[in-house]
Structure 1
Amino acid sequence: MDEIHKFFSGKNTVDYLSEEEHAQSGNYLETLRAVSRLSYMSMYVIDYQRREFEYVSDNPLFLCNHTPSEVMAMGYAFYFKYVSKEDLEMLIRINEIGFEFFNRTPLQDRKNYSISYDFNLQTGKDKILINHKLTPIFITSEGKIWKALCVVSLSSNASSGNILLSKTGEDSFWELDLADGVWNKMDKSRLTERELQTVRLHAQGLTIGQIADRMCIAVDTVKFHRRKLFDKLHVKNMGEALAYVKNNKLL
């Protein structure tokens, strides 16, 4: 399928790998298999030199009722089969703009970046909104991504998009305005200990009343902390708040 080439930017064409570059990969897939056994999230690896999937975990979220080997064999044809035309165009656009950003960053920093966005997978009448994160695993001496790890989880948002790019250790991130192709830099929200405690207890399944008892405060005070949390994170509920806190490593 000629359309598949749209996912492989000329800005990241890997034509040649030295012996040293080949050697860096070692037996890393065994580590990924171990990690996938410990997580509900789906994982797969893109090989940008071969333009195919090198690994697909057996976590069912991403598979659309296929086996991992079947998804590996499809590669990017999988997207053309299970992603709507609208979301597919969005993914191709993200790919183009993402590599433009990546190529403007210092070579030594490139492994520290990751990109996150939401899109729908459609299987028959069923549609599921997933969050998709991508980060480099191996980079060539020229700064091209050779292999990248993708992690798929359920999205806490209501619609596709929500395109964020972050760098490990930074207190800010970039949000993409897809219409204009512009990255807007934003500061990560800093949470108080009370707000973090509220999120932790919610993650344990406690009700507002139980959270109030655990924190030795009034129910109205818990509600106050929740409202402040929602306003600060620009979210509508605790599920979205928990997802934000996890995605931005605030816990």
Structure 2
Amino acid sequence: MKNNVNSGLLTRNRVGKISEEDHLQQQHYLEVVKSFARLTYESVYVIDYEKMAFEYVSENSLFLCGHSSEEVLDMGYEFYFKNVPENDLKLLNLINEAGFDFFEKLPGNAKKLYSITYDFHLVNRDGKHILINHKLTPLFLTSGGKMWKAMCIVSISHHQNAGNVCIHKQGTDETWELNIENNVWRKSEKPKLTKREIEVLRLHAQGLTINQIAEKIFVSSDTVKYYRRQIFGRLGISNMVEALSYAVHNKII
């Protein structure tokens, strides 16, 4: 599997030769990507589907698995085959197929409004498995509507297991979750929190205790605990660390 050049990771979205007109889209865009990478703690890299290679890899260490960014850039897709466990490689193939099936049904430039997020393990040089969250969104499309280049963002996952595949549409609360058992997308809406619940989350993110939050918003500590329970229930999680991570990943706060 790891050295199978016929893997769907390498063949599913081949775009062929890019036209001169399509090349005009770029306009030194990598400088913007590099600037963004300097400002975020997350790992950033760019996939070129024409060359089936990485075009840029940031120096943020999480994604690199002990390699330098230059080494990962040179490896390209071989990086996945070397640093992703066998079962998760199979999962990535499934996600790749389902994701591009979904993407190809979207109309024209609306495709740029969508992003996909999922979790899988990386194995570092010490042999330790790290569960990461991986987000991907189109940067450029070909004139035929295929994804030419994509930007990927990597951070620590707040889940316990690989999978958790979702597609989001920018500017809406629309979300599609992939059932990996039957390969079917199910549409849902992003959970909504009240203004007070969002305020409590933000204050927790600042490091305040329950009592400090109660003083800050002029309620009792029991009321803050009630808001916390409401947040956990709406988000389907069980503790504040998970709640904060979920809220950040899903742009709730």
Which TM class, normalised by the smaller chain length? Answer: over 0.9
How many angstroms apart in 1 are the aligned matches of 2:113 and 2:107? Answer: 11
Cα drift, residue 243 of structure 1: 2.0
Cα drift, residue 212 of structure 1: 1.2
In structure 2, what is the equivalent of residue 132 of structure 1?
Answer: 134
Cα 1:59–1:4, aligned 2, differ >3 Å: closer, same or farther?
farther
Amino acid at match of 2:74: A
Cα drift, residue 175 of structure 1: 0.5
Q: Scaled by the length of structure 2, what TM-score is found?
A: 0.95
Cα drift, residue 4 of structure 1: 6.3
Q: Is 1:46 equivalent to 2:47 in the alignment?
A: yes
In structure 2, what is the equivalent of residue 219 of structure 1?
Answer: 221
Amino acid at match of 1:167: K
Q: Is 1:7 equivalent to 2:5 in the alignment?
A: no
Unmatched tracts of structure 2, length 5 or more: none
Amino acid at match of 1:192: T
How many angstroms apart in 1 are the aligned matches of 2:55 and 2:70? Answer: 10
In structure 2, what is the equivalent of residue 156 of structure 1?
Answer: 158
Q: Scaled by the length of structure 1, what TM-score is found?
A: 0.96
How many angstroms apart in 2 are the aligned matches of 1:14 and 1:161? Answer: 26
* Deviations, residues 54-73 of structure 1 (Å, cap 9, x unaligned): 00000011001111110011
Aligned pairs, number: 250
Pairing 1:221-240 to 2, within 5 Å after superposition:
221-240=223-242
Amino acid at match of 2:63: F
Contact 1:9/1:95, CA 8 A, preserved across alignment = no
In structure 2, what is the equivalent of residue 90 of structure 1?
Answer: 91
* Deviations, residues 121-161 of structure 1 (Å, cap 9, x unaligned): 11233221110000000001111000000000111111111
Amino acid at match of 1:194: R
Question: Cα RMSD over matched residues?
Answer: 1.2
How many angstroms apart in 2 are the aligned matches of 1:101 and 1:28? Answer: 26
* Deviations, residues 3-55 of structure 1 (Å, cap 9, x unaligned): 36420344x32112221100101111111111111111000000000000000
Contact 1:9/1:96, CA 8 A, preserved across alignment = no
In structure 2, what is the equivalent of residue 209 of structure 1?
Answer: 211
Amino acid at match of 1:108: N
* Deviations, residues 91-112 of structure 1 (Å, cap 9, x unaligned): 1110001000001111221011
How many angstroms apart in 2 are the aligned matches of 1:153 and 1:129? Answer: 9
How many angstroms apart in 1 are the aligned matches of 2:117 and 2:88? Answer: 14
In structure 1, what is the equivalent of residue 65 of structure 2?
Answer: 64
Amino acid at match of 2:247: V
How many angstroms apart in 1 are the aligned matches of 2:236 and 2:169? Answer: 21
- Percent identity over the alignment is 50
Unmatched tracts of structure 1, length 5 or more: none
